[in-house]
Each structure stands twice: as C-alpha cells, then as structure tokens.
Copies of this chain bind each other. A is one copy, B any other.
Amino acid sequence: MVFRVPIPKHSPFTLHNIPFGVISTESNPQKRCAIAIGDYALDLPLYLERILLLPSDHRRRRRHRLDEMFGRVFSEPSLNSFAAFPWSQRRDIRNHLIEAISEGSVPESCFVPMDQVRMHLPLRIGGYADFFCSLEHCQNCSIMTGGTKDNFHHSPMVYNGRASSVVASPTPVRRPNGVTWDTGKGSGEKPVYGASKKMDFELEMGYFVSKPVEFGDTMSIEDAREHIFGFVLLNDWSSRDIQAFEMPPLGPFHSKGFGTSISPWVVTLDALQPFACSPKHDHSATEFEHLRWKDRAVGTFDIRLRASLIRNGERHRITSSNMRWLYWTPYQQLAHHASAGCGLETGDLLGSGTISGDNEGELGCLFEATMDGANEMELKGGGKLGYLEDGDEIVLEGWCGEGEERVGFGECRGVLLPATC
C-alpha cells in the first residue's frame, strides 16, 4: 500500500511546499481542489474518498482529522471555502498532507501526472487591487508617471484592476485595440485608434485574501498574516501606448484590464514562513502607525523571481528580481487596503506591483528595461527585444530556498495573441 511519490531534484513542489490549486482532467472534467507534489497533482476529493475505504484503524484516524473538518470544500470548483477556514485549520490539513505523503499512505491512484491536468483559476476573485510599491520601478517609470510623487513615501500606491480578466497560466492574452497618441508618447499628438504597439509584461507577485474584513471595518497590521491565504506569480500585462493616453487623471484602465495572468498553484503563507526576511528598504522610522510592521527581520519574504521570453522556440532570460526589494511589503499593502473601510473578501486578489531592483538585470518590465522601447535588448543568438511581438510568450518563475527544501511557484506563462481586426 505504501507509495513514495518521486520528487525530481529541482522541482518547485517539494514536501516543504504543498501549494493548493484547482484542477480538472479529461476523465473528470469537474473542477476540484488539489495540491502539487513533484510532477503530480494530488486530487483532494478523491483522496478524501479513498481514505474512507482504508482499513478501519487508518480510517478512524484520518476521518476525524480530515472528513469532519473539510467535508466537501475540496470538491468545490474554487479554493474560496478552504481559504475562508481559520489559519490553524488550514495549517492542520497541510501538515496532515505532508505527513501522509511522507509516510507513503496516500493511495497511488490519487496522484495525477501534471501533464494530464488542466489548471484553473485557484479562487473566485471578487476584487483585484494592484499596487505600485517598488521604488526602483517608480523611479524608472518617471517619464510615464511624471516623476516619483511625494505620496509614494508615505503610503502604498494602488489602483483597482479588473478582476474578471484575471486568467490562469497558460491562458493566452490578446493584444488590445485602443485609442493612443500617434507615436504613443503623449498629449499633443494626433489621437489614433488601433492595435497597441507597445505591449509589455510586468513581473509581480499576487496574493489572495483568506479571512475577510467586513465593509466599514478596518484591520490591524498585526493581524495581516491571518488574512493572507497564499502567494502566486502575477504578470500584469500592460499596453504602454494605451496607458500613456488614458492615465491622466484617473489611472490605468484598458492598458491593464485586457488580461492579467497568474500562476495556478497558491503557495501558502506557512510554506513561505521559513523564508521570512527583512525588506531591503528601511523606512520604519517615518511610517504611520497603521502601516508599521513591528518585527522588521520577518517583514517580507526572500522570494527569487525571474522572467523569460520565448520567441521562435528560443527561451531568453530577460530579468530577475526578489520580492524583498519592494519598498512597501505585502503586509503593509494589505493594512493600507483595509484602512478605509472598503472591506476585504475571501478570494480578493492583491498584486504587489512590478518588482524591480537596482542590480544589473533587475528591471521588472520592458518599459524600464528598454527605456520605452528606445534601447532594445540584444537576444542571444541574434534578434532584439523592444516591446512584445505577436506570438511571444512570457514565463515568470519564483522560488525560495534550494534542493529538497525548495519552495517554488512553478511557472506563470502566457502567449500574446494578435489583436482582433
């Protein structure tokens, strides 16, 4: 009965990870919850069903710990109900799964090879807010935003994105049509309507709300951990010429809303805790009380990030970064979001904003890396990269730690389709 699931050497999905997602398969097209381990998805409703068929001593033990607590939540087509459970109970189920997989007590039939699995959005997303919290990104984007504003240093900057156009990797995204200034630079030029000519990606992380905050209430930053379910990679696809047209004065709309990609496996806060670290920027002395995270040493996470381009079958690494570089951390972002009484709902998605650094090759989008397309990047084996071409694919990766203790996010992929005529 013992089955040891193989975990390849560089797998993002080790026993230290156990990320949650929503799958379907050809033989069972119903969406349902799963975890990732090695090159397999573990079908959670199937597992719950099978362990009830085990010999009775096993059954009693498992039944008490799983069936009672999680009932049918894993048969739902999203992780919202699971994410709404208290942190301690979510931790219990994750610990149980780690133990059961380690001891080999999960029936082999519950594992589905990853290449036979179709991934879906992990949660039903009610609201999506995208932040602008990397000082380096902010400074590098000055030509688009009119310089780093005074407000940046006092409070996280954020706008509402479009929740209904967030898609799970590897769903393709289509180049939008829109009104732009003729050469895409700015006001004063002739307005034209057509396909965007300045297609970009943005290297971000996203995180999902677990415990809600009621409309009209606020949340203390000290409780922020209780309200975060877990993290994903997030590609905030952007159209820079539409953005330059539409930004003043209301901010981005179509330049971002035509599609946002996320990686499908949600890495829990528990899996990330061993990689807690201090943020690079220290502005704790001037922070408002409601944004102050007491223990700077564990104020954010050391998550290494990378973006690659696949063009004509060739994969080119184009940037790397680290979530530590963010000027305002996710805990501070969440505290800011909750501060005005708008409420937070289980399943709300928050985007970290583009994460740029100040080391070589740490520019989180093409607008920065190419100076709005003026300085094209040289691709290995010839070819140049300014803005994205139709058919280009962007792949984001992220991971903490190494070897058997690696906690990875897998990939967030998306191909850019040509605009409709």
Contact = CB atoms under 8 A, between A and B. Distances in A.
A404 to B, nearest CB: 39
A250 B249 CA distance: 8
Contact of A420 (B132, B217, B258): B217
Interface stretch (A79-87, A163-171, A265-273, A276-284): A163-171
Given A127-B162, A159-B160, A162-B160, A247 B249 contact: yes
B254 A342 contact: yes
Interface string A252-293: 111001110000000000000000000000000000111000
Nearest to A191: B154
A129 interface: yes
Residue in A161, A162, A342 whose Cβ sees the most chain B Cβ within 10 Å: A342
Interface in A39-85: none
A162 B159 CA distance: 10
Given A154-B179, A174-B216, A159 B254 contact: no
A126 interface: yes
A373 interface: no
A209 to B, nearest CB: 11
A176 B127 contact: no
Interface in A198-241: 215-218, 239
A258 to B, nearest CB: 5
How many copies of this kind of chain does the complex include?
A: 2
A353 B145 CA distance: 24
Contacts of A250: 132, 157-159, 251-252
A185 to B, nearest CB: 12
Given A149-B187, A174-B341, 6 more contacts: A132-B249, A149-B249, A151-B187, A151-B246, A167-B215, A178-B340
Interface of A: 126-127, 129, 132, 144-146, 149-151, 154-155, 157-165, 167, 174, 176-179, 187-188, 191, 193, 215-218, 239, 242, 245-254, 257-259, 288-290, 339-343, 345, 348, 417, 420
19 contacts: A129-B253, A132-B250, A158-B250, A159-B251, A160-B160, A164-B215, A164-B342, A165-B342, A174-B341, A176-B340, A178-B339, A178-B340, A191-B288, A193-B289, A216-B417, A251-B252, A254-B340, A257-B342, A259-B341
